[in-house]
Structure 1
Amino acid sequence: MNLRIGGILPCRYRNESQYRDCRRIVSAIMVAVLGVCAVAASPIILSAQSTSLANGMTSGSAESSSMSHAASESLSTGSRSADRLPPDKLPRHLWNFGRGSDKNFDDWPDNWQRRVGRRYPKYVKVAIAPKDPAAEQQLRAIDTMVIREWPRLRRHLDTLPVLPPSLADAVVDRYLKVDLDGGLVMTQSPPVKTSHVYQYRFSVKVMTHGLRHDRARAEFVFVNDDGDEVETHGTESISGTTDWTELVLDRIRAPRAATGVFVRLIVEGAEDGLEDIRGEIGFDDISIEPFPQLQLVTDHPMGIHTVGGPVDVAATVLGLPSGATQVLFRLMDVDGREITRQISDIPNTDAANVKRPASGLPAKPASGGPRGMEVHWELPDLQPGFYRVMASLQGRNLRTLATETTFAVVDPAIGQPHQGSFGWTLVESGRDMPPRELAAWLAQLGVDWVKIPCWIEPNDTATADRILDASSRLQDVGIQTIGLLDVPPESQVPLFDIRGRRDVVASQLFRDSRVWQPLLEPVMTRLTLKVKMWQLGGNQDYSFLDRSHLQESIAEIATGLQGYGQPIEVAICWPWTERDLMPSETSWNAVQRSSDPELTADELDEYLRLEELQGGSNGPRTWVVVEPIEQSRYDRNARILDLAKRMAVVRKHRVQAAFVSEPRDPERGLLNADGRPEEMLLPWRTTSLMIGDLRQMGSLRLRSKAENIVFAGANRAVVMLWSPLPCEELIYLGDQVQVVDIWGRRQPLELVEVEGQVAHRVEIGPRPIFIAGADPTLLAFRMSVEVEQEQVDSLLGQTQPVDVTFTNPTREGLGGSLSVLAPEHWSFNEPSIPWELQAGKSATLQFNLVLGNSAKVGKYEIPLRFEHQSIPSKKFTVYRDLTVGPIGLRIETETRLLADNQLRVEIEMTNDSNVTQAYDCMLFPQGGRQYQRRFITVKPGETVRREFYWDDAESLLGKTMLLRAGEQDGKRILNYEIPVRR
């Protein structure tokens, strides 16, 4: 039987069954062919790659030392058309490891490189693989059938290509697969042209299976014309077993010196050096996408402005999109509330003399980029605080393009110049600032100590000069400098017996003096002229912990370091969780203490207390790490309170300095990646300035029950207050007091009259506030006042002593009077007593209390009114608690509404004395109803319950019953109020 399908494919079959089968198969082939042809004819091919991705980069294996230079060759020979790309038609570069990425069919992406070396063995298989091998095999079978019939098909359609498009290549989804086998992997793409005119979005999809030690991540590396790496941005690491996960780096600005960017795919082992011998990792859909850039800055590069001055905000539009006509500015406060907004026009001309907008500074062309335009907005005077400015482009047919920046307005008047306890480690923040500006900036932020990394190249005289100049400038403004010897320059790492840069720890670096001494000699010779204190290793480097003969080793290192210049002091790091060394076991001058996770305020207090008990004042000085807790786990109020409380603990103990390890840390830092303020900067600054040089003295007992800490020095005192629930405190603290909130805003406290005396009204909430300008003498006197008796017996009509003690905290004699304001049904036979005290002495005044027949059992707040005979005289009231009740007897009551509108009143008596107690109890309801009576006898150590029942319970709800209990054969009469509740 001769068969022709559409007059194209002749076939010969023996019977009808084969004919029908063949027709179905050939029809399926034709459908596949037509689908492949449609895909091939489409301008978008699923696995095609941009040809601009392969600009002459040599594929194969290479060591990392030659990788970036190979990339530079393609950059220097390629076209520099990126700067001239139309901003509304920006290309997206995509590697999806389809056929367009592997044109030579070797299962390796074209023009990619792979590092091969001791820790990067070639036997670890890395290749392009299908995500569904079975589907690819089926499609390959169809491709084979199509190829067999393709010549006959071309006889009738001569416009077809010589070979048919591959259905498998067009449809199968592929990725770069890594089969682990006990080694690390690093691969690198060819570079993509970049321009500083645009900002970029980098993304990569990662899959892992069966990983225990290894982690997979990606880096996007900007390079210059010479192939030198200018800036690197890394994704997070993926481990374990995870489905395909997209890792994104958004709004990345290309450095001005960069002309290209490439992606580096990395498989790295665990920190302890362990590596997986089994497991699978996949990388796919690597995207580099440019966008027009909208930059936003204020007129101070670090975003710190002084109260009283204007703030100029500049929005710079680079690669101006078509349709953009305006910039919308919005100013937000720390709580995200909009304060004000402004819309400014973007002019249609590049001329410099553009008409000034109705509000704000004129827009003008920005320097250094095509189609760049600056639009300015001058903000009015702002109060101290943390602010966020948002800007977005407005116009027709415009994709959303927005950005934001932060700034802080600070009040130089809060706090006073002092040598405090709080500092930063400047791993990156501010290192590139001119020394004069760096010193002024840090002093403005309340920084008292600075650690500066000082391990530099021996011939890097420019950096050494900057460090020397910076140290001198910092000393001029009262900031102490510590040299940090933690990580040597990249070129020196191979000289040490360590695996790689991540294994760099102090104990390894300082193991062989024949290696480190020649490297550090030129550095230390110059820097020890100004830097006297040096720390070995970073703030969490505990590598000296297990070193044998540690005392002798550190002494030798210190001697070797100071042999190059002036005498120095040395510090090492020690975790809180390890045993404290006795002073006799140490040879270092200071010890940096820290822990992971961060200690709470109570834990830090206890660790410091134990350290002082063991070491006394003879051991090394103590430095601690105190930085905010993670923003991803805690809300802002919790982070602020925790930080302030731990900083307060520092001022309670003998701690020389407390450091923020990395001010730019995205989770715990005070600054963002650009060095501008984050929301925790001002709470840290305010606390540092308010308490940095004061000693924690204790707490005031407040009527509001708000928590507080008192700090005092020779000439000033500060009270830090907070409360989980908002409350108000009325208290007199001095004549010149003012409140400073956590954002650095200060204002005078309102004066009110309370019981014939003036007092300050203080509003307290969950964010700490500081009372500045408090009278140190008055605070110390308030805290010294005690009532010796916590409880007086309920002996009605009997005289009982109440003793009040207090101390004169001044250096001079002090006199005055004390009056006790008696609650209702109380009386004192001598309510006011004069007193005189020598400097530093204490006194006890005894008042004789008589309780009236109607005095009730309970806790009372007793006003103790003092008058100091000073010039001018001071009058203030201190409140202390005093409980009235039978000593040795506890009474508990409970009311409950029962069915049938009946009320049950339960009275429970517990006898804590060593004698039997018996009471005649009468319970009086309100409303003229008859009382009920019970006799209750309670043996020593026994608890007895009695119940009273009342009808018509609804009429008693919300009222108060009176329990009057008279002791049998005794002198006690107990009056106890019982509120009636459901």
Structure 2
Amino acid sequence: MNVLTSLILSLAALGGDDSSQHPAGAAAQDAAHDANLPHAVQVYRCDFAQEDDRNYDGWPDGWVRRRGKEFPAFLKIGIQPEATGAKVAADSERYLQMELSGGSAGVMTPSCALGARGSFLLECQVRTKQLKHDHVFATLTFYDDHGQPLESYESNHVVDAPRWQTLRVGPVLPKSEAATHARVTLAVTPRGDQEDLNGVVHWGSLRMLRLPRIALRASGDLQVYDSLTAPEVSCEISGLVCARPELQFELLDHTERVIATEMRPLVLEEKRTLLKHSKAHSEPEHAAPQAGITGSAKWKPPIPDYGFYRVRVSMQQADQPTAAAIANSQANDATMLHRSVTLAVLRPLPRVAGGEFGWSLPGGEDPLPLNALASLLSQSGLGWAKYPVWFSEQEQAQADRLAWFAERLSIHGIEMVGVLDQPPSPLREMFRDKGRLPAASVFQEPQLWQPAVDPVMTRLSLKVRWWQLGDDRDTSYVDFPILEERVQGIKTHLERFGQQVHLGFGWRWLREMPNSKGTPPWEFLSYSADPELTADELAAYLPRKVIPAAPGTAAKLKAKLPTTPVSVNAHALPTIPPTAPSPSAMLPRAWVVLTPLPRSQYSTATRTLDLVQRMLAARQHGASAVFVPQPFSEEQGLMNADGSPGELFVPWRTTATLLGGTQYLGALQLPGGSVNHVFSRDGQTVMVIWNDVPGKESFYLGDEVRQLDLWGREIKPEFKLTDEQGEDRPESIIQVGPEPTFVTGLDEGLTRWQIRAKFVTTHLESVFGRQQPVTLRLENAFAQGVSGSATLHAPKAWNISPQPLQFRMSEGETAQPDWLVSLQPDAASGLQRVRIDFELTAERNYRFSVYRTLQLGLDDVTVEMRTRVREDGLLLVEQHVTNLTGKPISFQCLLFPPGRRRETKQMLHLPAGRHTVTFLIPQGESLLGQTLWLRAEEIGGPRVLNSTVVVER
């Protein structure tokens, strides 16, 4: 007996199933079988057959019409074909017909007892004729024991269906535990202003099935853990009616790869779980279906490392007695029901209070109560939290909860921003517009908003110092005609309660900052855009929003900060160049609204990379705060809508914790060319590094270097003492790839030294045999004096004094030693990479290398070469010379093919622009893969430009 046969016999045993005689009913039943759900129990069924109309009135027994202005009573509704004294043939097609003549039509089934907790699947058949403006759909509504509706779910909508189509709802799990009954509504309604005056709708077989309810829970309140052994998953199933199943537990990582699996038997409870029947229903009640039994199982997943995981549980059929049944199960994966739960296992990381990253939270206590929410925020690397705080004077319990929440966040080092967005329901009658109000409209009339906001300020002004008008997407103050006057009035009123108010509102990235006659009354602008700015766009736009302040502005800003336990990050304040103008004494901070990419359109890897790169860009370019506007969202959140962790939560937390409150130091030039950014906080220095091409990077930045990926997993770096030149020089080998990783434990003084070591000389003239100085600027970033030497390693065609440069510098001192370099005639032009080897003595001895580039040849004349083997076998060599000097120049060009005679051509009196000279060399195939050398000697001038090219087809 296979799974399909088992379900047919089970349903037949429950009440005699002859729906196969009715084509529409058979289709519905087959759809249920295709779902491979052998534990399904029939809750209600109607095929509009003769047994569904026992009094022969052309109306299904117990059904009712919807009445009302929109549902005219003259519309004809009834079972077709109608039985008129004689029985209709058993195999004839029967259906409920609705004839349209304007308006809507609707019918409702009798009340059906659910019988037990479970998930419910509704399927019914429909076909239409001549419908243009109306659509048809089914609705499944759950009721409590007293007949009160609790929740409804709609099917797909259909307009043009000349053949039978299936409308389906679910499987859905009622949210309310009070749901004991259900009714189905079949409806035809206009889609817009126009209605169908003609048209027919046929409703075929209808089935409602109860599926086993599978509830999956993880230990703890938040599904967020700091121990690999803490998570435990419990699975409870109710409503089982067939053979004993087994539960398959699977552990998946963030790439959806299964890393552990285990089968567990379901421990059954023989106690039945019948729901009590209601006596309050006035409608006839359908008999309650079989209740089934319940069972449970537990599993402690073997978490291999820190990161994001998903535990998936599927119910498998344990007893497949025949080979045919086994083959059928394998073909359908034998899976009947499955659920999953997410887990975030967080590596303990050091953090400081007052970082720049934050969340904009939904109001109320959904999806998490405030105590659980406060615990989650404390583990999420946050320094800020926006929260809607508007309540009425009568809502004192809510006021107390908000005050407690703000104080709790402060203890965790999180600054709460009170959002004054939509007035609470009891106060909405005061405002003329009953829809959603933009902030500029809410705060339009002081006589309305002032008494409404006073209870909030009375209760929270000592707890909350930062306030935002409107939510993150509210940009209603853009182009507001009297902005400064209006915001100043709001700020003045809010400060009547004795505390300084730090006020701000939403703004658009693409608009100029609002003008102010002096110090603006707003202290931050929350920037957003639709569509979202990319990391590169943030890097371009953000510096324009971080206005340089006059000397002393940072001190004034710090003096105005709220006196809370949150530590202040001075590096988040506007930068203060020594020669900056004095635009104002107080400048608005730039707050960034950062929405993750939608889950439905992008892979987890793409969403993760985009999120981290935008977080980096915001920190690198001076954003004072960075907020995720909807952290609890299935589509664009960090957490799921039910409060469980989403796949972006761990990368967010790792990045926010390691970079919050840091100062951006700059980037290192690495031998492999990997992108990197270095940040420092309280002596702790961290590098973020990635490369589009997977590989390795070698450098020395200290002896305590560790590497962490975005998921908190540690990657142990390799370490070597001898470099490629055979010198005894320590280096760390770091694995790099497209996903950013963090390198922690960097020596701050050593890292700052390497970042700040720069060439004052950036170009060398392409003049050979003459000594030219190469000047290096050094800055002592160590907390003490240093002494040491520097040795320059350059291409072989460069002659450099073999003696290293010696220097001695006190703390904070700068020096500019230089080398004398002369070039040999074969020195290649263009950008050349060089290496500087340092030996330093500070609190200990250091040996390390720094990589830099020098341009050989001035930018005013450049040479490029390209090669191509033609069909006739000749090698085509194109030399492109670009003249940017502003005056004519001439060159004699010498091309040296290996093993051949040299080729010579002249380029005379070249004006400004790009010019090309072509060489043709016979037997080009024999030169493939070999290197050609070109020497361009300026006629009547000192320039000599050398370049090489590898012959390609």
TM-score by length of 2: 0.77
SS in 1 for 2:300: strand
Residue correspondence of structure 1 range 716-727 to structure 2 within 5 A: 716-727=684-695
Aligned counterpart, 1:10:
none
SS in 2 for 1:319: strand
Counterpart AA for 1:340: A
| Contact kept? 2:353, 2:412, Cα under 8 Å | no
SS in 2 for 1:677: coil
In structure 2, the CA distance between the partners of 1:307 and 1:124, relative to structure 1 (3 Å rule), is same
| Contact kept? 1:222, 1:254, Cα under 8 Å | no
Q: For 1:387-432, what per-residue CA distance to the aligned partner results, in whole angstroms no more than 9, with x for missing partners?
A: 1111111224797333232433434432423321112233169656
In structure 2, the CA distance between the partners of 1:600 and 1:192, relative to structure 1 (3 Å rule), is farther
561, 583, 596: which one aligns with 1:628 = 596
Take 1:218 and 1:534, find their aligned partners in 2: how far apart are those partners?
Answer: 46
| Contact kept? 1:325, 1:347, Cα under 8 Å | no
In structure 2, the CA distance between the partners of 1:487 and 1:224, relative to structure 1 (3 Å rule), is farther
**RMSD between superposed Cα atoms in Å:** 4.9
| Contact kept? 1:526, 1:565, Cα under 8 Å | no
Asked if 1:170 is matched to 2:94, the reply is: yes
Counterpart AA for 1:443: S
Aligned counterpart, 2:311:
389
Asked if 1:602 is matched to 2:536, the reply is: yes
Asked if 1:420 is matched to 2:344, the reply is: no
| Contact kept? 2:71, 2:106, Cα under 8 Å | no
1:87 to partner: Cα distance: 5.5
Q: For 1:650-679, what per-residue CA distance to the aligned partner results, in whole angstroms no more than 9, with x for missing partners?
A: 324554432222222221011223211111
Q: For 1:473-492, what per-residue CA distance to the aligned partner results, in whole angstroms no more than 9, with x for missing partners?
A: 22211122233343455565
Aligned counterpart, 1:407:
342
Q: For 1:365-395, what per-residue CA distance to the aligned partner results, in whole angstroms no more than 9, with x for missing partners?
A: xxxx973222111123431111111111122
742, 756, 771: which one aligns with 1:784 = 756
| Contact kept? 2:142, 2:183, Cα under 8 Å | yes
Q: Percent identity?
A: 28
Residue correspondence of structure 1 range 900-939 to structure 2 within 5 A: 900-913=872-885, 917-926=889-898, 928-939=899-910
| Contact kept? 2:21, 2:90, Cα under 8 Å | no
Q: For 1:297-349, what per-residue CA distance to the aligned partner results, in whole angstroms no more than 9, with x for missing partners?
A: 22123221223424212121121241133111111111121111101112456
717, 720, 740: which one aligns with 1:768 = 740
Residue correspondence of structure 1 range 524-543 to structure 2 within 5 A: 524-543=457-476
In structure 2, the CA distance between the partners of 1:42 and 1:746, relative to structure 1 (3 Å rule), is closer
SS in 2 for 1:613: coil
1:839 to partner: Cα distance: 4.0
Asked if 1:256 is matched to 2:189, the reply is: no
Aligned counterpart, 1:55:
none
Take 1:441 and 1:41, find their aligned partners in 2: how far apart are those partners?
Answer: 53
Counterpart AA for 1:742: L
Take 2:875 and 2:249, find their aligned partners in 1: how far apart are those partners?
Answer: 65
Aligned counterpart, 1:332:
252
931, 939, 946: which one aligns with 1:960 = 931
Asked if 1:311 is matched to 2:231, the reply is: yes
Take 2:73 and 2:522, find their aligned partners in 1: how far apart are those partners?
Answer: 50
Asked if 1:295 is matched to 2:219, the reply is: no
Take 1:187 and 1:514, find their aligned partners in 2: how far apart are those partners?
Answer: 50
| Contact kept? 1:124, 1:178, Cα under 8 Å | no
In structure 2, the CA distance between the partners of 1:563 and 1:973, relative to structure 1 (3 Å rule), is closer
Q: For 1:431-485, what per-residue CA distance to the aligned partner results, in whole angstroms no more than 9, with x for missing partners?
A: 5656544322221122322233334464444443333332222221112223334
In structure 2, the CA distance between the partners of 1:802 and 1:347, relative to structure 1 (3 Å rule), is same
| Structure 1: runs of 5+ lacking an equivalent | 1-38, 51-85, 117-121, 131-135, 155-159, 270-274, 353-368
SS in 2 for 1:907: strand
Number of equivalent positions? 850
Aligned counterpart, 1:16:
none
Counterpart AA for 1:793: E
445, 459, 464: which one aligns with 2:380 = 445
Q: For 1:818-873, what per-residue CA distance to the aligned partner results, in whole angstroms no more than 9, with x for missing partners?
A: 21113213211364111233444433222111122443334321111222220212
Take 1:509 and 1:887, find their aligned partners in 2: how far apart are those partners?
Answer: 59
Counterpart AA for 2:680: A
Aligned counterpart, 1:68:
none
1:768 to partner: Cα distance: 1.2
Aligned counterpart, 1:693:
661
Take 1:420 and 1:44, find their aligned partners in 2: how far apart are those partners?
Answer: 67
Take 1:637 and 1:195, find their aligned partners in 2: how far apart are those partners?
Answer: 44
Q: For 1:153-193, what per-residue CA distance to the aligned partner results, in whole angstroms no more than 9, with x for missing partners?
A: x6xxxxx36xx79999935765999869xxxx999998765
| Contact kept? 1:886, 1:972, Cα under 8 Å | no
| Contact kept? 2:22, 2:93, Cα under 8 Å | no
Aligned counterpart, 2:780:
808
Counterpart AA for 1:956: L
Q: For 1:585-606, what per-residue CA distance to the aligned partner results, in whole angstroms no more than 9, with x for missing partners?
A: 9544444332222222233344
Asked if 1:732 is matched to 2:656, the reply is: no
| Contact kept? 1:961, 1:980, Cα under 8 Å | yes
| Contact kept? 2:22, 2:92, Cα under 8 Å | no
Comparing 260-269 with 412-421, greater Cα deviation is found at: 260-269
Q: For 1:224-267, what per-residue CA distance to the aligned partner results, in whole angstroms no more than 9, with x for missing partners?
A: 44666756768899999999996865553433233345679999
Counterpart AA for 2:43: P
Counterpart AA for 1:417: V
TM-score by length of 1: 0.75
1:949 to partner: Cα distance: 3.3
Asked if 1:851 is matched to 2:823, the reply is: yes
SS in 2 for 1:470: helix
In structure 2, the CA distance between the partners of 1:851 and 1:560, relative to structure 1 (3 Å rule), is closer
1:785 to partner: Cα distance: 2.3
| Contact kept? 1:901, 1:954, Cα under 8 Å | yes
**Structure with max Cα Rg:** 1
Aligned counterpart, 1:680:
648
Counterpart AA for 2:473: Q
Comparing 945-954 with 704-713, greater Cα deviation is found at: 945-954
1:288 to partner: Cα distance: 5.8
| Contact kept? 1:919, 1:936, Cα under 8 Å | yes
Aligned counterpart, 1:63:
none
Aligned counterpart, 2:919:
948
Take 1:178 and 1:743, find their aligned partners in 2: how far apart are those partners?
Answer: 59
Q: For 1:602-644, what per-residue CA distance to the aligned partner results, in whole angstroms no more than 9, with x for missing partners?
A: 3334443333339867244443321211122223232222211
| Structure 2: runs of 5+ lacking an equivalent | 1-16, 29-37, 273-290, 321-328, 549-582
Take 1:620 and 1:236, find their aligned partners in 2: how far apart are those partners?
Answer: 49
| Contact kept? 1:796, 1:851, Cα under 8 Å | yes
1:742 to partner: Cα distance: 1.0
Residue correspondence of structure 1 range 107-506 to structure 2 within 5 A: 111=64, 122=69, 160=86, 170=94, 174=98, 193-194=113-114, 197-201=117-121, 224-225=144-145, 250-260=171-181, 277-278=193-194, 289-347=209-267, 350=270, 371-395=293-317, 396=319, 400-427=335-362, 431=366, 433=368, 435-456=370-391, 458-490=393-425, 493=428, 496-500=431-435, 503-506=436-439
Aligned counterpart, 1:643:
611
Residue correspondence of structure 1 range 79-94 to structure 2 within 5 A: 88-91=40-43
Residue correspondence of structure 1 range 853-868 to structure 2 within 5 A: 853-868=825-840
Counterpart AA for 1:683: P
Comparing 911-920 with 289-298, greater Cα deviation is found at: 911-920
Structure number with the bigger relative contact order (C-alpha 8 A, sep ≥ 6) is 2
Comparing 665-674 with 555-564, greater Cα deviation is found at: 555-564
